[in-house]
Chain A
Amino acid sequence: MQPLTNRAKNVDRRPMTLAERAYLPAILKGMGITFSHLFKKKPTIQYPEEKRPFSQVFRGLHVLNRDEEGRERCTACGLCAVACPAEAITMEAAERQEGEENLYREEKYAAKYEINMLRCIFCGLCEEACPKDAIYLSETFAPANYDRKGFIYGKNDLLIPNPLTDREAYEQAAGGRVRQPVGSR
């Protein structure tokens, strides 16, 4: 039969020679190979102490963003919830009261904002849908938890630290990914 490719190799079916049947040369060779591995560098990352750097485009836990004055950017428009293919986002809107201008950027805000991390598929469509730059996916992932309730992240878990009061934590949470506020789009 005409071979289809040139890669076919004939199997060597000759009976084993005495050296091969004695097993020992092959075993010693194998032991040499494994012994050389004693001196190789281990690729292990000692996880809790040492962490693998994430890529710049890694889509991890969500962050609810604030503007440069520390006001929440979210207006509870619900576009992220609509865009979400896994229906992981729920929110309740509320009206900004007199005297709350330093807390919320616009007249409407999210009183309740929950993401179920077990439903979420980390696709990033919420981030794309948001007209206010209010939600971003960060470079961390949801840690393990003992019950399902623990995976429903509320505003406390999601909101980025206030840049006015806690600049360092804000920058750490923002990472390289959350763009600096550029004013309303």
Chain B
Amino acid sequence: MISTLLAMQMDWALVLEKFLLIVVVVSVSLGFAMYSTYAERKVAAALQDRSGPNRFGWFGLLQPIADAIKLFSKEDIIPNKANKVLFVMGPGLAMLAALMTSAVIPWGDKVVLGGREISLQIADLNIGMLYVFAVVALGVYGVMIGGWSSNNKFSLLAAIRGASQNISYELAMGLSLIALLFVTGSLSLKDIVVGQQTNGWNILYQPLGFLIFIVCAFAECNRTPFDLPEAENELNFGYHQEYSSMKLGFYLFAEYINMFISSVIMATLYFGGYDIPFFNEAASSLHPNILALMGFGALMAKTVFFVFVFMWVRWTIPRFRYDQLMNLGWKSLIPLALFNMLITGAVVLYLQNGWPKF
């Protein structure tokens, strides 16, 4: 017992380093989500020939703070017949699931501080992709618990819709990723990025897989055209109808964090992660810290682009009907993903073993 404690003592620096990394990553995610709400309104305005928020701060840049103050100062209502424990838990769970995914994402290469090499990844799990899937699946609980505990039939309907939608699209998403894993040969996100640095980005090998993945990512994040769980005009406001004040804010915020994380994951899986395009990191003579910073910048640029695509799509196309949603998921995306998997598997086998001899 004491020896294990002593052994742990040696790694205090590691614990501190990881703790700081977690704080930074979480606050970056939160800050990014905060400004996505602003960006969403600006992008929506620009696409509709309006100017968007421009009163508070320079170009309205302090708008998210104004929104937060407004949400915090609103009355917090818990319905009389709601299940109070679950009702309070719902938004927290949604937020938790949204933030937890960021643990396995490689935000950059190594940083050297005082002779210590610090990897810019909270945990390099060898099953990173599976972890992401598990946590994303947990996100359904936020929706489901929120909808069920409000004791409101519209919320419940919306929650059931949301849950079944997420589960249906997770299937196609998983299948499209299996094809990707055939190519990369590893579940670790770090390995996937390093592989892309040498072999070129995965989008070149998996264009169809990426298409399926991005469609499923839209559905997983409950973004238009798949925003049925919060369909304003059919189900009032969806699963968070009974929520008010910052609890509602948490649900809306979780959506933006989800969007951020799925953009990061898309960039990591298909667009080289922190890889800087047309630049050989291994051969460059720059200081590793500068390289890491540049890599982080590249990842963020890709992420911002995907977040913009999320918003762009939202303000372009209308919502799917529920049967259309299910048809698309089960009858189009899953067969397509299976087909993609089959072709990829065949090609990978051919490249490894050559043409089979009968």
Given the known interface contacts A42-B51, A44-B51, the answer about A31 and B312 at a Cβ–Cβ threshold of 8 Å is yes
Q: How far is the CB of B298 from chain A (nearest CB, A)?
A: 23
Q: Which of B47, B51, B211 contacts A37 (CB 8 A)?
A: B47
Given the known interface contacts A27-B317, A31-B313, A31-B316, the answer about A38 and B50 at a Cβ–Cβ threshold of 8 Å is no
* Residue on B nearest A24 in the bound complex, by CB: B211
* Residue on B nearest A48 in the bound complex, by CB: B55
Beta-carbon contact of A34 and B312 below 8 Å: yes
Interface presence of B289 (CB below 8 A) = no
Beta-carbon contact of A37 and B312 below 8 Å: no
CA distance A60 to B347 in the complex (A): 77
Beta-carbon contact of B316 and A38 below 8 Å: no
Main secondary structure, interface of A, reads helix
Number of residues from A at the complex interface, CB < 8 A: 16
Beta-carbon contact of A30 and B49 below 8 Å: no
CA distance A34 to B317 in the complex (A): 10
Beta-carbon contact of A34 and B51 below 8 Å: no
B window 16-75: CB within 8 A of A? 46-51, 54
CA distance A34 to B315 in the complex (A): 8
Beta-carbon contact of B316 and A27 below 8 Å: yes
Residues in A with CB closer than 8 Å to B49 are 37, 40-43
Residues in B with CB closer than 8 Å to A23 are 328
Residues in A with CB closer than 8 Å to B211 are 24
Interface presence of A146 (CB below 8 A) = no
Q: How far is the CB of A40 from chain B (nearest CB, A)?
A: 5
Interface size of B as a range: 10 to 19
Beta-carbon contact of B46 and A38 below 8 Å: yes
CA distance A37 to B49 in the complex (A): 6
Q: Which of B47, B50, B312 contacts A44 (CB 8 A)?
A: B50
* Residue on B nearest A23 in the bound complex, by CB: B328
Q: Which of A35, A40, A42, A46 contacts B312 (CB 8 A)?
A: A35
Q: How far is the CB of B286 from chain A (nearest CB, A)?
A: 35
* Residue on B nearest A44 in the bound complex, by CB: B51
CA distance A185 to B54 in the complex (A): 52
CA distance A31 to B54 in the complex (A): 25
CA distance A35 to B312 in the complex (A): 8
Residues in B with CB closer than 8 Å to A33 are 316
A 40-78 to B, binary, CB cutoff 8 A, 1 in contact else 0: 111110100000000000000000000000000000000
Beta-carbon contact of A34 and B47 below 8 Å: yes
CA distance A38 to B312 in the complex (A): 10
Beta-carbon contact of A30 and B48 below 8 Å: no
CA distance A37 to B47 in the complex (A): 5
B 282-315 to A, binary, CB cutoff 8 A, 1 in contact else 0: 0000000000000000000000000000001101
Beta-carbon contact of A37 and B48 below 8 Å: yes
Beta-carbon contact of A38 and B47 below 8 Å: yes
A 3-39 to B, binary, CB cutoff 8 A, 1 in contact else 0: 0000000000000000000011001001101110110
List 21 interface pairs A-B (beta carbons < 8 Å), by A numbering: A23-B328, A24-B211, A27-B317, A31-B316, A31-B317, A33-B316, A34-B47, A34-B312, A35-B312, A37-B46, A37-B47, A37-B48, A38-B46, A38-B47, A40-B49, A41-B49, A42-B50, A42-B51, A43-B49, A44-B50, A44-B51
